[in-house]
Amino acid sequence: MDLHDIHTPVLLDRCVELLGPALQRDGAVLVDATEGMGGHSEALLERFPNTRLIGLDRDTDALRIAGERLARFGDRVTLVHTVYDGIAEAVASAGAPQVDGILFDLGVSSLQLDEAGRGFAYSQDAPLDMRMDQTAGTTAADIVATYGEGDLRRIFERYGEEKLAGRYARAIIAARATAPIERSGQLVEILIAATPVAVQREGRGHPAKRVFQALRIEVNAELAVLENAMPAALGVLNVGARIVVMSYQSLEDRLVKRVFADAAASTAPPRLPVELPEHAPRFRLITKGAELASDEERARNPRATPVRLRAAERVREAS
């Protein structure tokens, strides 16, 4: 298997450019909080030969593949099986109290989408699993089988921003009374049947798209994990260190935007005539708003289409 053929890292050159100034120093430490198959990490280790990597992932298959890909870098690489809200503990256990760069490439990975048996893709029939860490946790089939109509509607509305959430929840409850819903193909059929023909003609995307996103987020507690991970990540950055976050849906991006804005804001009381040093912002925003992939990159790598990239740099220690 040629990893370069199956995995094209999103916004790779831009990530290298943004993290570069912080990784120039001798002994720099980079955390790839979403290691995946190691594409971003490989490029950064090649470009910055004095940098050490701590790579995190909850997916054991991804860590195995990344380990093979990065083996040539030897002891410059430490891979840790953990969810990224455990970043502070992982960094400490690797013997690096603070780090110089952090990269988050959020959402479902190419490996998880392309491996049909994982159940992430509504275009492929597979067991309804959707766990990023297949060693533990609740599956999407468990949720579909046990959640009540109200809870299904809630996650479809909140995590999928699905306008037909109530209709789809009722359809699932009715269908599972007849037979267990254990495969992605079954769920897709139920959702298509529950979608009015007029809505299907509107061109708002596949009827299953938002429901599958919502189930995946619920299975993996993605937003709760991200909400804990962002302040933890900011807390382990050295002065002069940089963090880059790539989001693929609006809920993630709004959360990242809020955390970055708070970190880059002064804490001085209103109407204070002079800002005291202890009230100065701890971070500065490097990107102006969220950066998008270019038309060329979207054509070359369709998975870059929804990406929203934000970056910040630590400019002072916490008070």
Convert the pLDDT of each residue in 286-306 to its tens digit: 999 999 999 999 999 988 999
Distance CA 209, CA 222 (A): 17
In order of 12, 46, 133, 165, 226, the CA distances from 221 in angstroms are: 27, 33, 12, 19, 9
Instruction: Spell out the SS3 assignment of 44-80.
Output: HHHHCCCCEEEEEECCHHHHHHHHHHCHHHHHHEEEE
The answer to whether 112 is annotated as binding is yes
The answer to whether 186 is annotated as binding is no
pLDDT of 176 over the 70 cut = yes
How far from the centroid of its chain's Cα atoms is residue 73's Cα?
Answer: 25
Binned at pLDDT 50, 70 and 90, residue 4 comes out as very low
pLDDT value of residue 207: 87
Convert the pLDDT of each residue in 23-38 to its tens digit: 999 999 999 999 999 9
The answer to whether 105 is annotated as binding is yes
What sign does the dihedral 145-150-151-157 (CA atoms) show?
A: positive
Binned at pLDDT 50, 70 and 90, residue 137 comes out as confident
pLDDT value of residue 42: 97
The answer to whether 40 is annotated as binding is yes
Convert the pLDDT of each residue in 246-275 to its tens digit: 999 999 999 999 999 999 997 666 666 666
Average pLDDT, integer, range 189-216: 89
The answer to whether 39 is annotated as binding is yes
Q: What is the pLDDT of the chain when averaged over all its residues?
A: 91
pLDDT value of residue 272: 66
In order of 49, 104, 178, 255, the CA distances from 304 in angstroms are: 27, 14, 40, 20
The answer to whether 122 is annotated as binding is no
The answer to whether 101 is annotated as binding is no
Binned at pLDDT 50, 70 and 90, residue 278 comes out as low
Q: Is 278 left (phi over 0), alpha (psi -120 to 50) or beta?
A: alpha
pLDDT of 209 over the 70 cut = yes
pLDDT value of residue 268: 64
Nearest to 39 by CA among 93, 103, 118: 103
pLDDT value of residue 205: 79
CATH code, 3-105+222-314: 3.40.50.150
CATH code, 121-220: 1.10.150.170
pLDDT of 52 over the 80 cut = yes
Q: What are the domain boundaries of the chain?
A: 3-105+222-314, 121-220
